[in-house]
Amino acid sequence: MKKIFSLIYISIFIIGCQSNELPENQIEVDSLSIVDTIEIAPSYTVLNQKVGRNETFSDILTKYNVPVKKILQIAEVAKDTFDVRKIQQNKEYVIYLNEDSLKSISKIEYTVNPLESIIFDLQDTINVYRSRKPIKSVERQTSGVISGSLYETLQKNNISIILALKLSQVLAWQVDFYKVRQGDKFKVIYDELSVDDQIIDIGRIKAVYFKHWNQDYYGFYFQSGDVEDYFDEKGNSLRKAFLKSPLKFGRLASRFSKSRLHPILKYYRPHLGTDYAAPTGTPILSIGDGMVTERGYTKSAGNYVKIKHNGAYTTSYLHMSKFAKATSKGSRVKQGQVIGYVGSTGLATGPHVHLNFYQNGKAVDHLRVKFPSVKPIDSNLKDQYMSHMNILMNRLAVIPLGEDSVYSKTESVELTTNP
């Protein structure tokens, strides 16, 4: 029954007038359910289909006796909105048939993505336009204790794994997510975005607490005028001079060591850098602002890039499969900018990036260096920030932290619609 109501709601929305007022006695529903064929109103039959292999827009319309001349007219009207030659296999579309003797097509709704559809209105005058579905934003509170990895912990407890990526971005300078261990804890207040009850993204992370290797880290989002950033409980920016890792995704494969058995040469020698393994082609990021001083190839390092960040710090990135186009000797790079892609050139047993970090010309373990924050909160905004932070800190404090599973709670709901 709920499926029928859902289709009634969508049908009214699509075939109704352009007024923003809802039809009287309209039934509100949570999601659109797909069925094969069902009559939902006296004047229409709705058919839910998928684009077949090698099927064209013309093939679809021809099945419903649309003349070739009209198909060409539809394609011409649609060209500024959507190129009908670009319909894709397995994409869903909905056919609305008139209840006449010919079962003629009234409308077609082609799904581009979960958020957007193309409407082909074939009634009296051909009209083609884009339709965007409303996004539901739900504020959620989630907490938990890590078992395995953050990704696995969230996945096991039916929490969107996108949250793991967003947390790694917010806490990129505080938490080494390649070294998250069993027993680490987290609490987070964030917005979850969904369309038709399907999660499409994680919105703003408003506040986060992360206990990593017995050290507490806090992050609070704050915006006032031109200031928009994450700060800790003292008003220091979470951004540091350097990122913890040159990869967004991957794993820590080998640590900095004064004596390591080389996997190819088979003898012990210093490994004065850190290896991060990832599939070939994974983007490599500069861990800080700086200037490219070298870009080239050697037999041992393979394709490499060297960046001077300031008078004290320099980094190099080895074994790249290829360089980023914008990376050349003498070019300026920003923290987080793609400078190349993971590979296995030079002396490498598999795809990874070897990161060397030099302090005053000496190779050091960057994972053990404590870097200062970037600019803290402006002094004229400090009182405003501290008041804002204390509210969020108190909200984090009352979120339960169970030892056995991830806690999750829906706090509030607001509906927003994309323009």
> What residue type is 72 in one-letter code?
L
**Cβ neighbourhood burial of 244 (10 Å; 0-12, 13-18, 19+):** buried
Token representation of residue 306? 């060297």
Number of folded domains that form the chain = 3
Q: Let me know if residue 10 belongs to a domain.
A: yes
Q: Please write the tens of the pLDDT for every residue from 282-311.
A: 999 999 988 999 999 999 999 999 999 887
Mean pLDDT of 131-158: 87
Query: Which CATH number characterizes residue 265's domain?
Result: 2.70.70.10
Instruction: Report whether pLDDT(261) > 70.
Output: no
Q: Let me know if residue 246 belongs to a domain.
A: no
Instruction: Report whether pLDDT(189) > 70.
Output: yes
Spatial CB neighbours of 301, under 8 Å, sequence gap ≥ 6? 316, 318, 319, 346, 347, 354
Question: How far is the C-alpha of 331 from the C-alpha of 353, rounded, in Å?
Answer: 21
Token representation of residue 115? 């958020």
Q: What is the pLDDT at residue 256?
A: 63
- 20 and 84 belong to one structural domain: yes
What is the SS3 assignment for 359?
strand
- 306 and 225 belong to one structural domain: no
What pTM does this model have?
Answer: 0.62
* Minimum mean pLDDT range among 121-130, 132-141, 365-374: 365-374
Q: Which residues form the domain of 188?
A: 136-240+373-417
Question: How far is the C-alpha of 317 from the C-alpha of 330, rounded, in Å?
Answer: 16
Question: Which string of DSSP letters, residue by residue, matches 204-249?
Answer: EEEEEEEEETTEEEEEEEEEETTEEEEE-TTS-BS-BSS-S-S-SS
Question: How far is the C-alpha of 378 from the C-alpha of 399, rounded, in Å?
Answer: 30
Q: Let me know if residue 167 belongs to a domain.
A: yes
- 49 and 123 belong to one structural domain: yes
- 298 and 152 belong to one structural domain: no
Mean pLDDT of 241-257: 81
| Residue ranges of E strands in 146-197 | 185-195
Residue 418's nearest CA partner among 117, 209, 143 is 117
CA neighbours closer than 13 Å in the CB half-sphere of residue 182:
3
**Cβ neighbourhood burial of 181 (10 Å; 0-12, 13-18, 19+):** exposed
Residue 409's nearest CA partner among 419, 396, 418 is 396
Output 417 or 309, whichever has higher pLDDT.
309
Domain boundary among the residues 111, 132, 153 is at 132
- 193 and 221 belong to one structural domain: yes
Domain boundary among the residues 86, 110, 132 is at 132
Instruction: Report whether pLDDT(12) > 70.
Output: no
- 160 and 61 belong to one structural domain: no
CA neighbours closer than 13 Å in the CB half-sphere of residue 388:
18
- 66 and 112 belong to one structural domain: yes
- 72 and 106 belong to one structural domain: yes
Question: How far is the C-alpha of 306 from the C-alpha of 356, rounded, in Å?
Answer: 9
User: Are 94 and 109 a contacting pair, CB within 8 Å?
Assistant: yes
- 113 and 14 belong to one structural domain: yes
C-alpha torsion angle, residues 39, 43, 45, 51 (rounded to 10)? -150
Token representation of residue 338? 């793609």
Q: Let me know if residue 101 belongs to a domain.
A: yes
Q: Please write the tens of the pLDDT for every residue from 38-64.
A: 444 447 799 999 999 999 999 999 999
